[in-house]
Amino acid sequence: MNGTQGQLALAPLGAGDLIDRAVRLYRRHFLTLLRIAAPPVLLSAFGSTVTTIAFRAIGATPSSVRLVLYVLMILGGGFIIICGSLFSLIVMGGATRNLVAHLLWDEPVSFRATYAAVKSRFWGLLAASFLVAAWLGFCAGVAFTAFYIVFALIVIAAVAIGSVGAEWLIAIISIIGTLAAITLATILFFLLAGHVAYVPQAMLVEGRTVTSAIGRSFSLASGNVRRLMAMTLFTTFATYSALALLIIPLGWYGWVNGVDVSPVGATWPAWYSIGYEVILQCSHILLAPIWMLGLSLLYVDERVRHEGYDIELMAARQLPPMPELPGVMSPFAPALVTRRTKTFVPPAPIPPASVLGLH
């Protein structure tokens, strides 16, 4: 094994190893990954900017016609933001295919290869993205319900304790209970949401259909809650750290011009709000590739853990592809499909023979 392939030798990864590998790949292919991640983030940034402009202007317009226009702009901006988020899920599948090709044959990580893979299965990926988004919405609803139930129990306990006048005990129970409710809701969300983490990867790496990819993702996603949470927390922390660094010049300029630059400032002028949103999206562009690489590596790692994918990749590097039998499609996915897979057709059963060889 040479060069990059040797550096990317596969082994089961813990949460820290996963983040470390994603960061190293990010540093190695920094500009290319920014180009790959930029289109969906720029689309979301445009929608966010339109929404911000309309929201700031809607309370100051005396015209009913402009009021309707601003409401339509808010709805349109929200729709564009949703499209950008779905587009990010789609691009993630193309990035995973490019990464696996990089592991297999040392193909370069490139914008063209990623978006060529996206183009080959765009409509299927779009349908899968809608289903994944619906599932994530369901998971968020379940997590919020769990948080609400635990928080309601905390309030009831605080009221009961308050009747005896133990204020310090009320404060302790409220703090610990609220943290426990948030932790429970977060774990429950990732426990459910993690089941669809590998849908675009299964479609583009294994060539599966939408429904088959969802089933495949559910079967692969076992025991990945801690690593998904670690990736999410790391990416969120890094994003807002980058935002804090980028926002300092804008904050200084706004403060000099009399703008309340606190995060809850309700009197931000339109130019400051737009600048803030643009910088927020720039920080997402900088950090989105790490999230993309992390999920791609997590998919590969799950197959290494459950299916010996590292052995399969090594064999695919060294051996020619398996010959195809006419009318039969193997149920075992290759390391990387080069075309869309067919439906598995089992061979016709052979009728049992009698002792004398007569049927």
**How confident is the model over 220-251, as pLDDT tens digits?**
887 777 788 887 888 778 777 777 787 788 88
User: Does residue 255 form part of some domain?
Assistant: yes
For range 325-343, the mean pLDDT:
52
User: Does residue 353 form part of some domain?
Assistant: no
Q: Domain total for the chain? A: 1
User: Does residue 337 form part of some domain?
Assistant: no
Range of the domain at 193: 10-315
pLDDT of 171 higher than 60:
yes
User: Does residue 115 form part of some domain?
Assistant: yes
User: Does residue 339 form part of some domain?
Assistant: no
User: Does residue 229 form part of some domain?
Assistant: yes
Report CA dihedral (20, 185, 276, 89) to the nearest 10 degrees.
60
CB atoms inside a 10 Å sphere around CB 295: 23
The residue to which tokens 């969300």 are assigned: 189
Q: Summarize pLDDT for 51-79 with one digit per residue, the tens.
A: 877 877 776 677 777 888 888 888 998 89
Check residue 344 and give its pLDDT.
38
Helix (H, G, I), strand (E, B) or coil at 206: helix
CA angle 348, 354, 358 (to 5 degrees): 80
Nearest to 8 by CA among 218, 317, 345, 275: 317
Top pLDDT among 306 and 347 is at: 306
Q: Which tokens in the block code for residue 194?
A: 């993690």
Packing angle, helices 64-105 and 122-162, rounded to 10: 110
User: Does residue 46 form part of some domain?
Assistant: yes
Check residue 120 and give its pLDDT.
86
User: Does residue 209 form part of some domain?
Assistant: yes
Q: CB within 8 A of 96, min separation 6: which ones?
A: 200, 201, 204, 205, 295, 296, 299
Top pLDDT among 259 and 29 is at: 29
